[in-house]
Structure 1
Amino acid sequence: MSLDSITLEAMKKELLDKFKEGKIISLIQTKKYKIIIEVKPVKFLDSNGLNKKSETFYIHISLDPSLPEIYFTEFENRQKTISSPFLNLLQNQLKGGKILDIEHPNFDRILHFIIRPYQKFGKVQNKILVVEFMGKHGNMILLKEDKAIETAIKLIDSNINRYREIMPGKLYVAPPSQNKIDPL
């Protein structure tokens, strides 16, 4: 099944229903383009609407060019974890944070996870984890609140793409819009 804008909108709504204000326990990278976010929801209701013990869920995000995917499960799938500078910065910035919102801008194949990082002291600035499900051009980018890029799973300089430079310190520019009409 392809990951189109309608599917992504439905997934966004489901993720928001379950994980809004949820706490990020950890982040795991299992493949070059796959990140798993371990989240504990604020409250979890059973089928009768009663509070149930909070459980841990795993949001799987894959930017594999042949099969981009996003889904969540409550089953821990212990896979070999790889380490990368991208994962290290994600863990440093987002671990312990709360998912405030998830946006689906311009009905495109992009999700923005708005996250309030855990911080004991000082002013807290929200982070934005941008996930672009664009096949071979897919990317996962961590932004500061002012849209400045902190890091990305694929760093792209001006030699590769003059329109969109994805490098730390640069301002984030969204991919060119496909001017899709929102049917919802």
Structure 2
Amino acid sequence: MLPELSDARENLNASPDKLGCERVRGQIRNHLRIGSPQQLSGVTSMFEPKRLTSAFKWIAPEKRKSRFGPMPPRKAGTRSPWLWLARLADELYLVNESEEVLERVSASPIGWLRIGHEEGVTPLNQPTPCIGYHGVPKCAAVKVAEYDDFYDLDFDLGVSLVIQSQRMGCVELQTPLSKGGVQETVLLWDNGDTGPGVHMNPR
């Protein structure tokens, strides 16, 4: 995080007058607009494209084990994910479990910066970097975001994905926002349903 941005946030918490708060909020917004992506947070930094093969395996909820002991019995699910997001340390991957090759995938970060508990939020209104892939086969995973486990806790973050394939056509899938970054998320089930909080729109 930029030192000036960190100082501005401290000043915001310490400023007793409304005018002072407005001035500091303006300083933060200016940094969000003109700061280089690498300086703001992990999710807004550029990263190298990365592909993995057979690195992730979906485990149905009723078959998962808790680190705190046995989990209560669950009804077996009848759906399998076609497209889902998986976390590997600070990296987020799109996993293709569909029966087809994804012709094109592009990903862009979305979200908000929390300025304070009572001061509201500021959108990430800087130009958002985008990463793209072509020809993503079944069981392959591609990196779509990267997070910083410390600085990104100030952000409510999500990811917007544009995916094109022969069966789906071209669609946009947008995840719900989550503090610090997206965790495991089902985007699209094999019956055509989207995951909880996921929005899908044709492009």
Higher strand proportion, which one?
2
TM-score by length of 2: 0.30
* Structure with greater contact order relative to length (CA < 8 Å, sep ≥ 6): 2
TM-score by length of 1: 0.32
